[in-house]
Structures are given as C-alpha cells and as structure tokens.
Amino acid sequence: MAKHLNVQRAQLITPEFSNGLPVCFIGNKDRSVNIGLKSLQLCANSIMPYLVFLGQSMADKFPMHAEQYNQNINSMEYMSALLARESIDVFRQFISICFLFVIQAVDLRAKIDQNTYDLRLFLSKATIPTY
C-alpha cells in the first residue's frame, strides 16, 4: 500500500500529471522564497526505503534454535511481530504526509478553478467532516 501511495504522491506533485497545479504545490507565489512541499517530499522519500526494509521477509534469516531445534519458528515470529509494529508506526507517519499533499492539492485546485479556498464546492458531503 505504501509503494502505491508513494507513486500517487509523486505523480500528484509533478506538474506533468497534476493538471496545472503549481510546482511543489507552492501556495503563495508572492513570497521570494517558497519551496512548497519540497521538504515533505524529501521526508516521504526518506521514509519509503525504511518501510520497504521493515516489510522484508524473515524466512531467509537465520533463526535462533531453542528447545532442541523444536522452536525455530518462535524467534522469527517475535522478530516479524516487532517489525510489523514498527512498520505500522512508520506507515502512519508516511500516510500523514500523503494526506498533507492531498489537502494542499485540493486547496490549490479550488483556488485555481473557483478563486476560493472554500472546499465545499469540491468535496462530497461525506468527505467534508474528514477534511
């Protein structure tokens, strides 16, 4: 899921795919220095390899043998559980960044198309409370 979101996030911020949204989602072009969401993009790009690492298989790792080689799987189960818990925490950070990208994109689209930041024109009634 994270890889899929990573590709969508990358395409969303790229002008060739975003249907005219500003580069890096720069909101206020009047400022002399404005990097938009470039820092968040770098942050997400840093998190993604770590998520891939956390999602790797434990089957090819050397298990610790216990109870006369009768409990080989237990050591891998414990490590898999720890990595799964860590990957969920990291994925929460990653998906939060993705949500910020989507919110900025919708804000900018509303400004471009309707010259307003009132998103009720673009969001469904079910989505408005979440926003």
Which sequence spans correspond to the domains of the chain? 2-121
- Tens of pLDDT, residue by residue over 57-108, are 877 776 666 667 666 666 777 888 899 999 999 999 999 999 999 989 988 9
- The CATH number for 2-121, chosen from 1.20.1250.20, 1.20.200.10, 3.40.50.880, 1.10.40.60, is 1.20.200.10
Name the nearest CA neighbour of 110 among 130, 129, 128: 128
Name the nearest CA neighbour of 2 among 47, 56, 66: 47
Place of tokens 């975003």: 18
Task: Tell me how far apart the alpha carbons of residues 11 and 64 are, in angstroms, rounded to a whole number.
Answer: 43
Task: Tell me how far apart the alpha carbons of residues 119 and 11 are, in angstroms, rounded to a whole number.
Answer: 22
- Tens of pLDDT, residue by residue over 11-48, are 998 889 999 898 888 887 778 778 888 899 999 999 99
Task: Tell me how far apart the alpha carbons of residues 29 and 33 are, in angstroms, rounded to a whole number.
Answer: 9
